[in-house]
């Protein structure tokens, strides 16, 4: 497993700052990537924050570790909010810790349906709320 982290870390180090354009790396959930320094060379870290206590705490720890690595831009993506209370919980949690929120991705049954059919939600339901929300987050990130 260590070899895989070293390979990804090396690849990111080589790609950052080149003319290849943006590089998006979807890291596995959890904090192990940080202890191995895998995201050390990224310029933007997006931390997915779900409206559950343990998920929020893990997200906050990921933000702390990203700050320790010196990543210049760290923002949250609020994910799977079902209610106004969920949104308030994520917003207040992030505000209290100085974590900007880059965007909101709602809970969407289209994701579950796509998963059951073995397809990507973009292919199975391109007009779904989740696809529109992710496109909006991408647009926001491009603008900033």
% helix, strand, coil for the chain, step of 5: 55, 15, 30
Instruction: Kindly list the structural domains of the chain, giving each domain's residue range(s) and its CATH number in brackets, ordered by start.
Output: 2-107 (3.40.50.300), 109-144 (no CATH)
CA 11 to each of CA 1, 6, 37, 69, 128: distance values in angstroms, whole numbers, following the listed order: 16, 8, 12, 17, 33
Tokens of 98: 């100085």
What is the structure's pLDDT at 96? 97
The pTM (predicted TM-score) of the whole model is 0.77
**pLDDT exceeding 70 applies to what percent of the chain?**
73
Work out the average pLDDT over 64-91.
92
């Amino acid at each position: 497993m260590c070899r895989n982290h070293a390979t990804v870390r090396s690849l990111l180090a080589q790609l950052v700052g080149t003319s290849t354009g943006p590089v998006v790396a979807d890291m596995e959930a959890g904090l192990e990537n940080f202890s191995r320094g895998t995201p050390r060379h990224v310029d933007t870290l997006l931390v997915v924050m779900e409206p559950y206590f343990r998920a929020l705490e893990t997200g906050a720890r990921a933000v702390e570790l990203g700050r320790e690595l010196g990543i210049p831009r760290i923002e949250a993506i609020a994910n799977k909010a079902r209610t106004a209370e969920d949104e308030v919980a994520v917003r207040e949690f992030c505000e209290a810790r100085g974590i900007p929120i880059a965007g909101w991705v709602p809970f969407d049954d289209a994701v579950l349906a796509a998963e059951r059919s073995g397809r990507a939600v973009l292919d199975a339901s391109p007009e779904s709320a989740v696809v529109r929300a992710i496109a909006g987050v991408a647009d926001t990130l491009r603008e900033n």
